Structure 1
Amino acid sequence: MRIISMALGASVIALAAPAIAQDILFKPIVEARLRVETVEQDGPAPISEDNDATATTIRLRAGGEVSSGPFALLAESEGTLALDEHYNSGVNGKTSLPIIADPETVELNRLQIQYRTKPLVVTIGRQRINLDDQRFVGAVGWRQNEQSFDAARIEYMGIRNLKIDFTYAIAAQTIWGIDGGRFGATNRPTRIEGSNLFATVAYATKAGTLTGFAYLVDEDEPVVALQRNSSQTFGLRFAGARPFSKTVKLSYAASYARQTDATDNPVRYAADYAAAELGLDVSKIRLTAGYELLGSDAGATGIAGGYAFQTPFATLHKFNGWADKFLTTPATGLQDYYAGITYTLPKLGKTGPLAASVAVHRYDSDRDKIHYGDEYDAQLSLKLDKRLTALVKYADYRRKGIASFTGDADTRKFWAQLDYAF
């Protein structure tokens, strides 16, 4: 009888195993990026016999996601190797060279548990977070080592046309990697701890999506330069599009926010943010024009010369030109007037799409009537197949007058890269 029971039990397990196996899914993560980046930088800073830098780096990501029903576990490692390190990575001590913020590193990029249904997604652990246009919170995907957050995030979509997104983050894993903070680079640590709250409420209408947001940043670090990033920002954003025909579409976006100091910030200030952009798609051509203001408070206390609106957790490379001259907003603030054109070919032989774009920026201060400079950007990208993409890119920043902020120098940057994603 015991033998029969054991055999029956084994049969039940054998019959159930295929069903269980089918319910467990595995999705591999394999990504690679090979990049050559060069920088030619004129005086006044850094002062060196060699103001040129070259970084040849390769970035690898590997991992996977195991899911069953609404639950998923994701783990992903990330590593960057410098094949040519004639550059200042920000943490390698080569401070006489221009900075290219791709340090060598090996780290755990993401480790998260997720519960996901149609109305609700909950993510806990080290994760990638991109909110709205990434102006305030993003993964900094352009850099080889991306930014991730140790956080709990809730996304609720159970009410028609409404999305509520709330994140509590206890730390940001920065782009500076495992050597963060070395050689005196205390303002570029591996990890920034704190109690950060990111909240957005978005309501979709026929004309576009209206989003209210609150970003409460607490950089709980002993470094004064990081403490100054602690702030509270409240604002609104509206973005939408209107098609006129199958080949003509108008898109638009506008934002406003108010930022003040918070928690242990030694600076007392208040500053405004405003942005507006129009885009016109006509067949294969897209025209864009926009304006962005990061305001300055001349009466800020606790720091000489005033203080300006900052977005320390943003994907900053997306904004204010690809030369990255305004990763930290100058004390006198920033006004960015820009325009661009993109031409896209869906197919180019057996490859495609092919996209070519150019853009121009004029940078002025918010106060004191300073014209910082102008920038000219160009990019060409081609998808070679479903997994491989090639890109070349150029940025040329031309300073006007005297140097108006740290790092204000004529700068030319060039990139060539290949991206692979499995």
Structure 2
Amino acid sequence: MTAAVTLPVQAAETPAAAQSVTLAEAITAGQAHISARYRFEQVDEDGFAKDAHASTLRLRLNYETGVWHGFSFMTEFDHLQSVGGDTYNSTRNNRTTRPIVADPEDTDLNQALLRYVSGQEEVVLGRQRINLDNQRFIGDVGWRQNEQTFDAVTLRSTRIPQTHLTYSYVDNVNRVFGPDSGTPPGDLRSDSHLIDAAWDLQAAGRLSAFGYLLDFDNAATLSSKTFGVLWTGQYPVGQFKMPWSLSYATQSETGDNPVNYSADYWQVEIGLAQDTWSARIGREVLTGDATRTDRAFQTPLATLHRWQGWVDKFLTTPPQGIEDTYVALGAKLAGFDLQLAWHDFGAEAVSRDYGTEWNLSVGRKVGKHVDLLLKAARYDADTFATDTTKLWASATVSF
């Protein structure tokens, strides 16, 4: 339900400029950024006598050096603090009588990377943020206070005209539940390969082909190989624009996964938009099995909050798969960004209604440094999970 993301390779310094900058000058001539994001999240979920009230503040500080002979270094620290007491289950605080809000307190190294750029090639080594295409399969889960990052080496190239090539070898996945150990695990110890090739087709949109070979030492049942394509773009229709998104992928087991399976994914979305409003309708399907478990299409490294409703009932695909039919509206009104969406969820492998969900958000940017957001989501269960209402209020200040 999101537009494709292109990751351009940064332009390198000219040789003369590189020679004129000393290492000490590059280190001291960098840029620092600081941000604070406060969020209050309330969860009213059937089956729990008490609601979750998560009042959390995330402080983030990063610094990126200048460029020296094509090299630069960036480091980023996060501190996440509960404000006013742990009246929610963070997955680490043992408050199991309340619903989960996966924002555990922590202080950690969010990113620490060495970047080298030469012409149209880029190499990034270290702990880094990786967002590929529309983040349906690989993303940073930026909605959570502790985002997902990757200990990896990434190679990017734009040497071929109108083409972006990306390869990452991932040694470890730092999940939103970390850095402390627990359940779910805070890390996925990995021997994984991410391959993505994207072509700019001009008026015909953008086409991506990808292959994700995920092999996890401590989560063998999540080890899989996925190959697919994504085609996005928009077509002018008079004074309107008609955006579209089409995607297909196939998945099977790999590594030490004990289950032999094959599953498919597909998504189709079409919309209509002007400068101040948009409307979209779509259908997304992740296949499963009518009688056997552990054979559904899974996306463990996706930015999942962007997909299949904000209540997050389907972070793990149910054994019988899922079909999500949705309608979404967006508008800009008097400085506010408004979003409204409706989802109808059902099983893919059998005839079964899971439930329906409404999502609503209102956001506003105040000046250059402050972002405000209010969100609400309501999931009404038919045969899957339980009725749940979530409310959010957040403010982000960044410099």
- TM-score, normalized by length of structure 2? 0.91
Aligned residue for 2:173? 172
1:249 to 2:249 alignment: no
1:37 to 2:59 alignment: no
Once the two structures are superposed, residues 53-104 of structure 1 have per-residue CA deviations (whole angstroms, 9 ceiling, x without a partner) of 1000000111200022422100111111011311111122112211001010
Residue among 285, 289, 292 paired with 1:297: 289
TM-fit CA distance, 1:297: 3.3
TM-fit CA distance, 1:254: 0.5
Aligned residue for 2:323? 335
Once the two structures are superposed, residues 233-287 of structure 1 have per-residue CA deviations (whole angstroms, 9 ceiling, x without a partner) of 0011111112335x52111110000000111112111100000111211231100
TM-fit CA distance, 1:116: 2.2
Per the alignment, in what secondary structure is the counterpart of residue 277 of structure 1? strand
Per the alignment, in what secondary structure is the counterpart of residue 335 of structure 1? strand
TM-fit CA distance, 1:150: 0.3
Runs (4+) off by over 4 Å: 16-20
Per the alignment, in what secondary structure is the counterpart of residue 179 of structure 2? helix
Per the alignment, in what secondary structure is the counterpart of residue 238 of structure 1? strand
How far apart, CA to CA, are the structure 2 residues paired with 1:306 and 1:162? Answer: 36
Conservation of the 8 A alpha-carbon contact between 2:261 and 2:295: yes
Aligned residue for 1:232? 225
Q: Partner amino acid for 1:92?
A: N
TM-fit CA distance, 1:176: 1.0
Conservation of the 8 A alpha-carbon contact between 2:26 and 2:65: no
How far apart, CA to CA, are the structure 2 residues paired with 1:65 and 1:326? Answer: 37
Aligned residue for 2:268? 276
TM-fit CA distance, 1:293: 0.5
Conservation of the 8 A alpha-carbon contact between 1:118 and 1:157: no
Conservation of the 8 A alpha-carbon contact between 1:306 and 1:332: no
How far apart, CA to CA, are the structure 2 residues paired with 1:108 and 1:128? Answer: 12
Aligned residue for 2:79? 79
Relative distance call for 1:17 and 1:174 in structure 2 (3 A) is closer
Q: Partner amino acid for 1:390?
A: L
Conservation of the 8 A alpha-carbon contact between 2:40 and 2:56: yes
Per the alignment, in what secondary structure is the counterpart of residue 317 of structure 1? helix
Structure 1 unaligned spans of 5+: 1-15
Aligned residue for 2:377? 395
Conservation of the 8 A alpha-carbon contact between 2:259 and 2:294: no
TM-fit CA distance, 1:115: 1.1
- TM-score, normalized by length of structure 1? 0.86
Aligned residue for 1:97? 98
Conservation of the 8 A alpha-carbon contact between 1:29 and 1:76: no
1:60 to 2:59 alignment: yes
Conservation of the 8 A alpha-carbon contact between 1:380 and 1:392: yes
Relative distance call for 1:17 and 1:374 in structure 2 (3 A) is closer
How far apart, CA to CA, are the structure 2 residues paired with 1:68 and 1:22? Answer: 6
How far apart, CA to CA, are the structure 1 residues paired with 2:234 and 2:222? Answer: 34
Per the alignment, in what secondary structure is the counterpart of residue 217 of structure 2? coil
Conservation of the 8 A alpha-carbon contact between 1:36 and 1:415: yes
Residue among 283, 305, 314 paired with 1:317: 305
How far apart, CA to CA, are the structure 2 residues paired with 1:390 and 1:24? Answer: 33
Once the two structures are superposed, residues 29-58 of structure 1 have per-residue CA deviations (whole angstroms, 9 ceiling, x without a partner) of 211100000000113xxxx432x1100000
Structure 2 unaligned spans of 5+: 1-19
State which structure, 1 or 2, has the greater radius of gyration over its C-alpha atoms.
Answer: 1
1:209 to 2:206 alignment: yes
How far apart, CA to CA, are the structure 1 residues paired with 2:354 and 2:26? Answer: 60
TM-fit CA distance, 1:117: 4.1
Two-structure CA RMSD over aligned residues (Å): 1.8
Conservation of the 8 A alpha-carbon contact between 2:57 and 2:81: yes
Relative distance call for 1:377 and 1:67 in structure 2 (3 A) is same
Q: Partner amino acid for 1:153?
A: T
How far apart, CA to CA, are the structure 1 residues paired with 2:117 and 2:325? Answer: 41
Conservation of the 8 A alpha-carbon contact between 1:90 and 1:99: yes
How far apart, CA to CA, are the structure 2 residues paired with 1:257 and 1:38? Answer: 35
TM-fit CA distance, 1:332: 0.5
Conservation of the 8 A alpha-carbon contact between 1:269 and 1:297: no
Relative distance call for 1:356 and 1:23 in structure 2 (3 A) is same
How far apart, CA to CA, are the structure 2 residues paired with 1:369 and 1:166? Answer: 40
TM-fit CA distance, 1:190: 2.2
How far apart, CA to CA, are the structure 2 residues paired with 1:269 and 1:259? Answer: 8
Aligned residue for 2:12? none
TM-fit CA distance, 1:307: 2.3
1:417 to 2:399 alignment: no
